[in-house]
């Protein structure tokens, strides 16, 4: 059951995702999808085509016909849900990807009726799969579609106004699937762009494809220094982006502030890890900012619920409903950022206008799947009667884990929904207070562990 996560299904190839488990997953999923057609794509991992065959067998046994898009980035898989393919609109899509996980991992991101399939639905699917026998298989029903070219043509048309940009663009695909689409779009727009590690290779020979980790950006930073005006980096399946200038590594929450400059009265959904500066600045500009749970599925659902224009995660997931379809797409986010540059917006100057803050990266504390949620509950209990020397608490936000708002900043403790860890993050207008907030909340976590 450990492969059934909050946002997707993810596990180790052969050990957890093998012929028996994946055929059954396909069959059980096929029975849950009301329509007839499922669009399926996969990432650059060597075992992704093998999992594709297993999944197709299960989906066919469950009464579904497959639209095969081959190797594509995750955003292209999402995009296929909004297109007609010879009169057929997919009723669901599955992306076979391990995202930014190590090369032995793989998984499934599922969309049904243009909405994410996640949370309790995934856990229930898992329970069903674990108790069922192998299904009786039927004839193979697979139709190939060229979703990649349709996506490239869409982007080139939507951003035709970027033609003639003189800025030197450099980018790092990390040997993920971004490389099969980025240069085609940049060439189609006549942009001055140079990429590194653009060949898809599921062993990720140059560096791990996770642009939220500073170490993975060292090569693109060198290239930016020598040959670029702006740089981009992508994760393994191209739904997460890093944006780099000569002065800044722009995190997702700060990207949202920049993008919202060109959206009238923007409504933006942020996660609990986003800077308070983002929420305050959006409100100051006359927009609306809503804090919600971490996770791409959660944010998509919340965006639709409140009619938001934009959503973001600090890690680089950026979701556009404004002029787009409402899912996280690092390629689309790249082109929207280039729009800002073309419009004369100095990204570094805009960021320099914001209040100075000090913050930590995400800090991960190892625990167990069982203990992590118990620790969070205990921390919440301890906060009702904190130690006498504990800093003054202005507010406690329980949207996802617990975000403790102090006089000069905040601290967050939440349980990861994908790994057996607690995730903490801290922010303050004072370096000294930042360390204080980190120390007192860490002490509370330790006490919670001891009390359990």
Residues marked active site are found at 99
Phi-psi region of 21 (alpha: psi -120 to 50; beta: other; left: phi over 0): alpha
Q: Could you write out the three-class secondary structure of 242-282? A: EEECCCCEECHHHHHHHHHHHCCCCEEEEECCCCHHHHHHH
C-beta separation of 259 from 198 below 8 A: no
Token reading at 311: 């959503």
Cβ count within 10 A of residue 434 = 20
Instruction: Round to whole Å and give the CA distance between 89 and 82.
Output: 7
Q: How far apart are the first and last CA of the chain?
A: 24
User: Which residue pairs from 428-437 have beta carbons closer than 8 angstroms and sit at least 24 positions apart in sequence?
Assistant: 428/357, 428/358, 428/359, 429/355, 429/356, 429/357, 429/358, 430/358, 431/358, 433/391, 433/406, 433/408, 433/409, 434/358, 434/359, 434/360, 434/409, 436/391, 437/391, 437/404, 437/406, 437/409, 437/410, 437/411
Instruction: Give SS3 for 395.
Output: strand
Instruction: Round to whole Å and give the CA distance between 450 and 428.
Output: 28
Token reading at 121: 């639905």
Q: What are phi and psi of 100, to 5 degrees?
A: -100, 10
Q: How do 421-428 and 241-244 pair as beta strands?
A: unpaired
Token reading at 52: 């594709």
Instruction: Round to whole Å and give the CA distance between 382 and 359.
Output: 24
């Amino acid at each position: 059951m450990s492969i059934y996560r909050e946002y997707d299904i993810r596990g180790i190839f052969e050990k957890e995702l093998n012929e028996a488990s994946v055929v059954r997953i396909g069959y059980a999923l096929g029975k849950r999808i009301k329509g007839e057609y499922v669009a399926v794509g996969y990432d650059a991992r060597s075992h992704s085509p093998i999992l594709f065959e297993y999944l197709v067998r299960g989906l066919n046994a469950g009464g579904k016909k497959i639209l095969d898009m081959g190797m594509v980035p995750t955003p292209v898989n999402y995009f296929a849900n909004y297109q007609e393919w010879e009169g057929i609109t997919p009723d669901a899509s599955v992306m076979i990807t391990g995202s930014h996980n190590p090369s032995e991992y793989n998984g499934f991101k599922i969309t049904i009726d243009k909405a994410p399939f996640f949370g309790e639905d995934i856990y229930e699917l898992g329970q069903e799969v674990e108790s069922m026998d192998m299904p009786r298989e039927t004839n193979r029903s697979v139709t190939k579609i060229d979703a990649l070219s349709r996506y490239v043509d869409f982007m080139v048309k939507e951003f035709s106004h970027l033609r003639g940009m003189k800025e030197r663009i450099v980018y790092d695909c990390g040997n993920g699937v971004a490389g099969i689409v980025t240069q085609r779009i940049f060439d189609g727009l006549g942009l001055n762009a140079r990429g590194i590690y653009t060949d898809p290779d599921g062993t990720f020979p140059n560096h791990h494809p996770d642009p939220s980790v500073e170490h993975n950006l060292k090569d693109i930073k060198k290239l930016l220094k020598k040959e670029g005006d702006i740089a981009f980096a992508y994760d393994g399946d191209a739904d997460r982006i890093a944006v780099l200038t000569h002065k800044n590594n722009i995190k997702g929450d700060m990207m949202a502030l920049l993008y919202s400059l060109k959206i009238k009265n923007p409504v933006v959904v942020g996660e609990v890890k986003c800077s308070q500066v983002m929420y305050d600045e959006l409100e100051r500009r006359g927009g609306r900012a809503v804090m919600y749970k971490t996770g791409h599925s959660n944010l998509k659902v919340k965006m639709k619920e409140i009619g938001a224009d934009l959503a973001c995660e600090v890690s680089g997931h950026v979701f556009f409903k404004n002029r787009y379809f409402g899912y996280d797409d690092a390629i689309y986010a790249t082109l929207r950022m280039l729009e800002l540059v073309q419009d004369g917006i100095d990204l570094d100057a805009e960021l320099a206008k914001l209040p100075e803050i000090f913050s930590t990266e995400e800090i991960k504390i190892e625990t167990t799947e069982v203990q992590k949620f118990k620790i969070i509950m205990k921390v919440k209990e301890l906060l009702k009667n904190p130690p006498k020397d504990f800093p003054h608490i202005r507010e406690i936000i329980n949207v996802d884990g617990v975000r403790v708002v102090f006089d000069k900043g905040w601290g967050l403790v939440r349980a990861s929904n994908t790994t057996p860890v607690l995730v903490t993050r801290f922010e303050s207008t004072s370096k000294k207070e930042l360390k204080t907030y980190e120390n007192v909340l860490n002490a509370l976590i330790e006490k919670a562990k001891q009390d359990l």
